[in-house]
Amino acid sequence: MFNCFEMRLSDDDIQKISTLGLAHLGDAVFELMVRAWLCENGGATSKGLHRAAVCYVSAPAQAEAAARILPRLTDDERAIYMRGRNAKVNSVPSHASLVQYHAATGLEALFGYIYLRGELDRLNVLFDIIMEEQNAS
């Protein structure tokens, strides 16, 4: 049976996935983590939860998050982030600059990569850094 909560793909299998494919998955992983964090930290209504989630998962917010964790990435993680950041995108949302959108894509690719490797503890460490520093500012 396919278990999407216990992924452990090999590096060879992950290399077969396009960078934008990793970002697509990583976007969902990051948003799920944000939504779970918001529920745990006292979001009251679904409307309030949605608005709060958007504040964390927008391209500008993800670009800031990427900047926070970049110094703490391993060489392999940094390489994946750079692959995502440098990926050719076809459009950029009006609320984000091209630089922000590329950085957000890098963060999403990184989260997709780490998730597919089954390194949930590492995802949690990076997410904790993002949320601690986000809430300290």
Catalytic residues: 27
CA dihedral 80, 106, 10, 131 (to 10 degrees): 110
With CA atoms as reference, report the closest residue to 39 among 25, 29, 53: 53
CA distance 26 to 113: 7
